[in-house]
A and B are shown apart, each in its own frame.
Chain A
Amino acid sequence: MTERLKDKNDHFPYKHKAIKELIVENPPAGPNGPDDDSRRITDYTSDEIANASNDYVTAQSEYLKNPTRSNLVVYKARKQELIRARLAHRRDRG
């Protein structure tokens, strides 16, 4: 199980602080150059997704290190919260 913790490269730990700052800045994120504001960062993510992703990845890490029932319950709960955050973001963007 702990082998899974080797899938790092920014998955473990989640880059929470960095993405929160980026969401606040909300720079252009369109396909045609750095100033293309046809899309912005918040078209791809949200504060809620960032928080839920952080909680999910943390819970996943804890479960992989120590696969107890209680850690599994938390991991599954954090997963559902992330799903809810994604659905809310996608619903809001139409």
Chain B
Amino acid sequence: MTITASGLYVQNWVDELDATNIGFDLSLATHKLCLVNDTHAPNFDTHDAFADVTNEVSGTGWAAGGVLLSAAAAGGTSTAPTVTISPAGTLMYDMNDVAVSATTLTNAMAAIIYADALTTPIADALIILIDFVTAFSTVAGTFGIQWAAVGVFNIDMTP
């Protein structure tokens, strides 16, 4: 059991905010969401690229590398990612619920969102890992993620 919490990939967020300016624009629908099982051991300080992702879960209806946010919502529609203030003083990254039909997947313990279209300076830069806490499987069914009211993640910027 190596996934114990969700987390942002710190180095990439540092690089987003300083002169490195990697540019992973959270409104992009070209980001991908992939799945990992509980054998994956995330390191939020050192992991920065999809190449660091191990123990990926993929299968029928869910290719290796994950699904594009542009087609991961119900009916293959876009999850329409947003970055907003919600509530006051809080930055929220959110999107429509994920619902990918006709999948067969085993023991997905977490989702990782990464910037698939980015090639430089960090190719496929990691953004966030979301811990499901309990592993989920599907058998020719819908793999769904119902986001909480507080979004995919939020940062209280006026604590």
Contacts and interface: CB of A to CB of B under 8 A. Distances in A.
A4 B28 contact: yes
Contacts of B80: 11, 14, 53, 56-57, 82
B29 A30 contact: no
Interface string A14-56: 1100110011000001111110100101011100011001001
B65 interface: no
B97 A45 contact: yes
Nearest to A14: B78
Contact of A41 (B28, B68, B99, B138): B99
Given A43-B144, A45-B99, A10 B71 contact: yes
Contact of A33 (B75, B98, B117, B139): B139
Interface stretch (B11-19, B46-54, B145-153): B145-153
Given A32-B138, A33-B139, A39 B76 contact: no
A82 B148 CA distance: 15
Given A8-B70, A45-B97, A53-B96, A29 B142 contact: yes
B70 A41 contact: no
A65 interface: no
A29 B29 CA distance: 23
Interface residues of B, number: 41
A82 B82 contact: yes
B146 A53 contact: no
A69 interface: no
Nearest to A7: B30
Contact of B149 (A4, A9, A91): A91
19 contacts: A4-B25, A4-B28, A7-B30, A11-B69, A15-B75, A15-B78, A19-B75, A29-B74, A31-B138, A31-B142, A32-B138, A41-B74, A45-B75, A45-B97, A45-B99, A56-B82, A80-B84, A83-B94, A86-B96
Given A29-B141, A41-B99, 12 more contacts: A10-B76, A14-B77, A22-B74, A31-B137, A31-B138, A43-B146, A44-B146, A49-B96, A56-B82, A79-B82, A83-B92, A86-B96
